[in-house]
Amino acid sequence: MSFDADVIIVGGGLSGLSAGITAVREGLNVILLERGDYSGAKNVSGGRMYIHALKKLIPDALEKAPLERPITKETFEIFCGNRKITFSFEEKDKKNSFSVLRAKFDRWLASEAENLGLLISYSTLVLNAYREGGGITLETNRGTLKAPLIIDASGVTSVVFRMLGLRKFTPDKWMLGVKEIIKADVNLPENEGEVRTIVGEIKGVKGGGFVYTNKDTLSVGMAVTFDSLPKSEFPAKDLVEAFKERIEIEGEILEYSAHAIPYYGFKNLPPLYDKNLIAAGDSAGFLINDGFTIRGMDLAIGSGMIAGLASKKIVESRNFSNTEIYYEMLKDSFVLKHLELAYNRFELINSPSTFSTYPEILCNVLSDMFTVEENRDTLINDVIYRLKEKGIPLSQVVRDLWKAVK
């Protein structure tokens, strides 16, 4: 059977483009299919990108990429009713992560990829996939394409795996990210930017909110699990508006967007490879949400690059069942190592006490601490009393604290 390319990549987001750039550099014959009119047309993130992986992909990216601002200040806000705990951390001149806007960023990365010789077919929607003649056939709105190896980089909906029956999605394993871009006069020097992470402001939802400072806009939004949405104080369509009102952010809205986010955790990852097929980025469920930050973009770039390198090895071996090569390479990389490291905290934020009970106990203890009255107890007694009130033994707190730092 004749094939159209060595490798076909489905999806021109960060993972697909990184895979494409790497595979072309490795000398493979690659086609990338993207359903948007341009890369980034359909993509949404919060978005703060940790740039270690990007710098490996494009060494001079810091000079060339359309990054918004370096993140030099982190602020956490934990709400419990009319009380709020806030803490901030500042580190001037830090250049480890940047705010980004995906419609601009992905488009730039796609132009870099095209300059390197990657063939990208835009407005090409993959409609169906099936196995045939030792490879996989993809039906698209522009005709049929076949390859012995497919990289599924189609994001959380993992289209090729799904069409081959290799995915089952449930609302507890996905989050909804909803977001607005707000016009703002950002009174910060160009080399400074802030991320605010907000927990507990909207009742009923499992998740939190964020505010990212861009050049002259703010990205304001929430990420909450789909199964908690029907229990939320607000329907999904009003979530960001309600959140903005609560944290008192006003300004002209420039865009309203939404996207699902994978929420599996290291031990629940879906199949990452199959015969003739590997998954990168969100399609593989590579997302870290440890309560402090959402990280998908550096994992998408990192896993995309590994997918590109693994493709070369698989093509050279001429054994397209041998896709475990990819998994072995992932195991050696930061992608699976970081996911594993984050798993304890992932489990912790999934326990019901973390999002609701602990913040409330903390608020109660702090409120007692700052209230002076005739009757006053020691802080430790107060902590034990407040824990008892909620039926949480001290041993569990110690165990949870250990999980959070491990």
**Cα 256 to Cα 260: distance, rounded to the nearest angstrom:** 14
- Whichever of 43 and 137 has its CB closer to other proteins, that residue is 43
79-103 per-residue burial string, b: 16 or more CB within 10 A, e: under 16: bbeeeeeeeeeeeeeeeebbbbbbb
* CA separation, residue 375 to residues 83, 268, 363, 364 (Å): 22, 49, 19, 16
The residue among 242 and 365 lying less far from other proteins, judged by its C-beta, is: 242
Which one of ligand FAD, other proteins, none is in contact with 37 (Cβ closer than 5 to 8 A by kind)? other proteins
Residues within window 178-197 making contact with other proteins, judged by CB under 8 A? 178, 180-181
**Residue 288 CB, nearest approach to ligand FAD (Å):** 8
Burial 112-134 (b: 16+ CB within 10 A, else e): bbbeeebebeeebebeebeeeee
* Three-class SS state of 168: coil
What distance in Å separates the CA atoms of residue 50 and residue 74, rounded to the nearest whole number? 14
Q: Binding to ligand FAD by residue 44, rule CB under 6 A?
A: yes
Taking CB under 8 A as the rule, which mask of x and - marks residues 220-239 in contact with other proteins? ------x--xx-x--xxxxx
Q: Does 154 bind ligand FAD (CB under 6 A)?
A: yes
Residue holding tokens 């359909």?
Answer: 42
Alpha carbon distance 5, 29 (integer Å):
5
Peptide bond into 20 cis (omega under 30): no
Out of other proteins, ligand FAD, none, which partner does residue 174 contact, by CB within 5 to 8 A per kind? other proteins
223 binds, among ligand FAD, other proteins, none (CB under 5 to 8 A by kind): ligand FAD
Closest to 309 measured CA to CA, from 342, 335, 282, 270: 335
Residue 46 interacts with other proteins (CB under 8 A): yes or no: no
Residues in region 363-392 near other proteins by CB under 8 A: none
Q: Are 214 and 186 in contact (CB under 8 A)?
A: yes
From residue 191 to residue 230, the character string flagging contacts with ligand FAD as x (rule: CB under 6 A) and all else as - is ------------------------------x-x-------
**104 touching other proteins, by CB under 8 A:** yes
Q: Are strands 119-121 and 30-33 parallel, antiparallel or unpaired?
A: parallel
Residue selected from 26, 34, 152, 194 as contacting ligand FAD according to rule CB under 6 A: 34
CB proximity list for 169: less than 8 A, separation 6 or greater: 162
How many other C-beta atoms can be found within 10 angstroms of the C-beta atom of residue 399?
12
CB closer to other proteins, 258 vs 362: 258
CA 402 to CA 128: how far, in whole Å?
46
Among other proteins, ligand FAD, none, the one that 14 touches (CB under a kind-dependent 5 to 8 A) is ligand FAD
201 binds, among other proteins, ligand FAD, none (CB under 5 to 8 A by kind): none
Contacting range for ligand FAD; rule: CB under 6 A; set: 31-39, 82-90, 245-253, 375-383: 31-39
Nearer to ligand FAD, 169 or 392 (CB): 169
- Interface of this chain with ligand FAD, residues 287 to 346, rule: CB under 6 A: 287, 294-298, 300
Q: Answer yes or no whether residue 216 interacts with other proteins by CB under 8 A.
A: no
Cα 5 to Cα 136: distance, rounded to the nearest angstrom: 11
Which residues lie across from 89 on neighbouring strands? 74
Query: Which one-letter DSSP state was computed for residue 57?
Result: H
Contact 48, 69 (CB under 8 A): no
> Is 69 among the residues that bind ligand FAD (CB under 6 A)?
no
Closest approach of other proteins to the CB of residue 162, in Å: 8
Can you give the binding site for ligand FAD, defined by CB under 6 A?
10-16, 33-36, 42-49, 125-126, 153-155, 157, 159, 177, 179, 221, 223, 259, 261, 281-283, 287, 294-298, 300
